[in-house]
Amino acid sequence: MARLIVVLGDQLTHSISSLSQASKADDVVLMAEPVGEATYVRHHKKKIAFILSAMRHFAQELKDDGWTVHYRATDERLPSFTAAVEAELQAGAFESITICEAGEWRVQEEIDSWEQRFGLPVTVLKDSRFLASKQDFAQWAEGRKALRMEYFYREMRRKTGLLMEGDKPAGGKWNFDSDNRKPAKADLFMPRPIEFTPDAITQNVLSLVDQHYGDHFGSLEPFWFAVRREQALAALDHFIETALPEFGTYQDAMLTGERFLYHSVLSLYLNVGLLEPMEVCRRTEEAYLVGRVPINAAEGFIRQIIGWREYIRGFYWLQGPDYGSSNFFGASRPLPEFYWSGDTNMVCLREAITQTKEEAYAHHIQRLMVTGNFAMLAGIDPHAVHEWYLAVYADAFEWVEMPNTLGMSQFADGGLLASKPYAGSGRYIDRMSDYCQHCVYDPAERTGEKACPFNALYWDFLERNREVLAGNPRLGPIFATWGRMADEKRAAVLSHAAALLNKLDAL
Ligand code: FAD
Ligand code: DLZ
Ligand code: SF4
């Protein structure tokens, strides 16, 4: 009897463990487009189109390679993965179910119910696409007072041998961030990610998404993402050639109208499995070894992948399913309406949100220091913030989105992931971007109609949460600066912040 091999929408890798252990001749692969996966948060239209198109291309590749694939599409209106498996078991006889572990607690819990529900053995295999398994990470974390990415990253460098010269880091340092993080200038030769023309499969998916999910957030077109592995590899080569050399230098920069700067726009391909992390890092290392990219770029980029990406994944599984309800500051304001419309006078937020609507993409520093920073300063309910990030970005899967949002950007876990809140005033945004030059607000002012809202909200956030933050050694100097301000000045800042919080939607 055949085994049912279930492949999920973020498992589009030909060497995925579930397929590696299956038999082309005997087993049946099930892929499904349950309505619930597109609506449990109302995902961006472009994100749904990307995942469905990549899934359909992958299914076609499997069929061309001789696999039997049963593909249960959106038209069947199946509510969940469980309903898709049930329909399959009703249509045919199977001896067991095999699946690679899911990327999130919600889906893994669903899978864990199948054995009892269907009365069949269910084999859940490890996801070997990650360098550190859940167990490896838990072992690394055990007994440590604080989990800090930098130490985990060094272990990953040693484990993979990436940018290693014997047991020493290439270039003599583990981390070249001190050479990075410069503001960028408009440049005629600014790279752009490679764009792909939608083929017939993608065109079909675009109509389907418009028909079924037309009222979701975001623009469906233009659609230019890679949807096949071959295209994702071309996107990787294009990035290495055109943008990687400046990646480190301008990693934290923001520029009006420049949506991608020197970023790779590869996270979505990595996260669904069209690219594997090690192949991306090996190609980066090769470019460094032949002298095409400097060490600060190669090291900085590799650190994002074998450091941050792996660390965040390990952290997600270590924390458990309750991590999602973290709310250290007890924040409860609703998300301002302009997070969905982009309709705000604050240029930094307008730029980040407008491009999010149009591209289902914003780069890291926009997510962290613009949309995330503002939400934390304004005391927005972190769960609403998490659902927004999960819905709006094409690369958003809970294992990576949730720790980045709740831990790194909202400090909602009270410092399990970050050693201090990533809070910044208008002055930080002014230093790292040209947004403020086009804004009705002034980043140098704290109070008054023209004052940048980030400024008063920044001090108000610290004052509001003094009890839980004042003991943080990294915030000591900031509280000291606030303490040195004249009483009337502090009162004026707090009263301005209260007025702003009363009219967030109108800013
Ligand atoms: P690049 O700047 O080119 O970086 C290279 C690669 O490094 C990325 O493709 C990504 O795979 C990896 N990477 C970089 N930073 C991180 C990080 N902090 N965590 C994990 N991987 C990282 N990333 C996601 O993949 N999915 C998400 O849902 C997601 N949500 C985020 C939410 C918030 C609030 C914040 C602050 C960050 C989030 N990130 C998320 C991390 C990061 O912003 C994106 O990985 C990055 O912007 C993707 O664009 P890129 O491919 O151009 O990245
Ligand atoms: C996010 C998403 C969407 C929109 N649609 C599907 C789908 O139709 N089929 C599928 O298998 N996966 C989809 N996904 C990804 C899942 O929601 C989920 O995030 C991953 O399978 C990880 O557990
Ligand atoms: Fe953003 Fe303030 Fe600068 Fe305007 S002035 S762009 S609101 S940081």
Average pLDDT over residues 128-133: 96
338 CA distance to ligand 3 middle (Å): 15
Lowest mean pLDDT: which of 12-21, 246-255, 394-403, 497-506?
246-255
Q: Does residue 199 register a pLDDT over 90?
A: yes
Taking the C-alpha atoms of residue 198 and residue 313, their distance in angstroms, rounded to an integer, is 31
Distance CA 158, CA 365 (A): 28
Helix axes 310-319, 134-141, angle to 10 degrees: 80
Across residues 13-33, what is the average pLDDT? 97
Residue 16 carries which side chain, given as an amino acid letter? Answer: I
On whether residue 27 sits in a domain, the answer given is yes
Let me know whether 145 and 175 are in one domain: yes
Using 50, 70 and 90 to split pLDDT, how confident is the model at 181? confident
- State the ligand closest to the CA atom of 104: 2
CA of 295 to the centre of ligand 1 (A): 21
Examine the fold and report which residue of 319, 346, 378 is the final residue of a domain before the chain moves on.
319
Residue 183 pLDDT greater than 90, yes or no: no
Gap between the Cα atoms of 240 and 234, Å rounded: 10
Q: What is the pLDDT of residue 335?
A: 98
Domain ranges, residue 475: 338-506
Identify the pLDDT of residue 97: 98
CA torsion 16-322-306-160 (nearest 10°) is -70
* CA-266 nearest atom, ligand 1: 51
Which residue has the CA at smallest separation from atom 3 of ligand 3? Answer: 436
- Indicate the length of the chain as a whole number: 507
Task: Give the residue among 272, 282, 257, 189 at the shortest CA–CA distance from 227.
Answer: 272
Pairing state of beta strands 28-32 and 68-72?
Answer: parallel
Considering the domain architecture, whether residues 145 and 271 belong to the same structural domain is answered as: yes
User: Could you give the percent of the chain with pLDDT greater than 70?
Assistant: 100
Q: Which of 98-102, 189-193, 246-250 has the highest mean pLDDT?
A: 98-102
Q: Which pLDDT tens digit goes with each residue over 424-464?
A: 999 999 999 999 999 999 999 999 999 999 999 999 999 99
Average pLDDT, the chain: 96
Q: Which ligand is nearest to the CA of 41?
A: 2
- Report yes or no: 335 and 379 within 8 Å, Cβ to Cβ: no
**364 C-alpha to ligand 1 centroid (Å):** 6
pLDDT band at 178 (very low <50, low <70, confident <90, very high): confident
Q: pLDDT band at 188, cuts 50/70/90?
A: low
User: Could you tell me if 4 and 85 are in contact, meaning their C-beta atoms sit under 8 angstroms apart?
Assistant: yes
If one residue of 452, 457, 504 were mutated to test the ligand 3 pocket, choosing by the most ligand atoms within 8 A of its CB, it would be 452
Whether 184 and 87 map to the same domain: the answer is no
Q: Binning pLDDT at 50, 70 and 90, where does residue 410 land?
A: very high
Q: Please tell me whether residues 248 and 145 are part of one structural domain.
A: yes
Only one residue has tokens 């694939």, namely: 69
Q: Which pair of structure tokens corresponds to residue 137?
A: 């990470």
Nearest CA to ligand 2 atom 4: 38
Using the atom order of ligand 1, give the atom closest to the CA of residue 260. 52
8 lines ligand 2 (CB under 6 A): yes
Evaluate whether residue 432 is within a structural domain.
Answer: yes
Closest ligand (CA of 9): 2
Concatenate the DSSP letters of all residues of 325-337 into one string.
G--TT---BPPPT
pLDDT at 374: 98
**Shared-domain flag, residues 255 and 112:** no
Please compute the mean of the pLDDT values over residues 37-45 and round it to a whole number: 98
- If asked whether residues 302 and 180 sit together in one domain, one would say yes
Let me know whether 354 and 475 are in one domain.
Answer: yes
Q: Does 385 have pLDDT greater than 80? A: yes
Q: Specify whether 276 is located in the same domain as 411.
A: no
Q: What is the pLDDT of residue 187?
A: 76
Q: Which ligand is nearest to the CA of 315?
A: 1
pLDDT digits 0-9 by tens, 273-314: 999 999 999 999 999 999 999 999 999 999 999 999 999 999
Residue bearing the CA closest to ligand 3, atom 2: 452
Other CB atoms within a 10 A radius of the CB of residue 222 amount to: 11
Query: What is the per-residue pLDDT for 179?
Result: 75
Token digits of residue 471: 């003991």
Checking if the pLDDT of 392 tops 90, the result is: yes
Mean pLDDT of 199-215: 98
Give pLDDT, residue 9. 98
Which 8-state DSSP code applies to residue 102? P
Q: Which atom of ligand 3 is nearest to the CA of 438?
A: 6
Q: Which ligand is the nearest neighbour of the Cα of 429?
A: 3
* 217 is a domain residue: no
Nearest ligand 3 atom, CA 443 = 5
Task: Quote the pTM value.
Answer: 0.97
Whole-number Å distance, alpha carbon 366 to ligand 1 midpoint, is: 11
Whether residue 381 is predicted with pLDDT greater than 90 in this model: the reply is: yes
Ligand 2 atom with minimal separation from the 43 CA: 4
The residues lining ligand 1, judged by C-beta closer than 6 Å to any ligand atom, are 263-267, 270-271, 301, 304-305, 308-309, 312, 363-364, 367-368, 372, 389, 393, 395-396, 400-401, 404-405, 408-409
Q: How many domains does the chain have?
A: 3
| Closest-CA residue to 261 (of 369, 373, 178, 182) | 182
Q: Using the mean position of ligand 1's atoms as its centre, give its distance from the Cα of residue 303 in Å.
A: 12
Residues 442 and 382 in one domain: yes
Identify the CATH number of the domain in which residue 142 sits.
1.25.40.80
Binding-site residues, ligand 3, Cβ < 6 A: 346-348, 426, 429-430, 435-436, 439, 441, 443, 452-454
Query: Do residues 426 and 487 both lie within one domain?
Result: yes
Tell whether 471 is covered by a domain.
yes
DSSP string, 207-273: HHHHHHHTTSSS---S-----SHHHHHHHHHHHHHHTHHHHTTTTT-BBTTBSSTT----HHHHHHT
Report the CATH number that the domain containing residue 56 is assigned in CATH: 3.40.50.620
Model confidence at 212, in pLDDT bands (50, 70, 90)? very high
Q: Ligand 1: which of 240, 404, 408, 409 to mutate, most ligand atoms within 8 Å of CB?
A: 404
Distance CA 495, CA 501 (A): 10
The CA-atom distances, in angstroms, between 429 and each of 75, 369, 374, 377, 450 are 46, 8, 11, 14, 16
| 286 and 350 share one domain | no
> Which atom from ligand 1 is nearest to the alpha carbon of 395?
26
Distance CA 51, CA 269 (A): 10
Compute, in angstroms, the gap from residue 232 CA to the centroid of ligand 3. Answer: 35
205 in any annotated domain: no
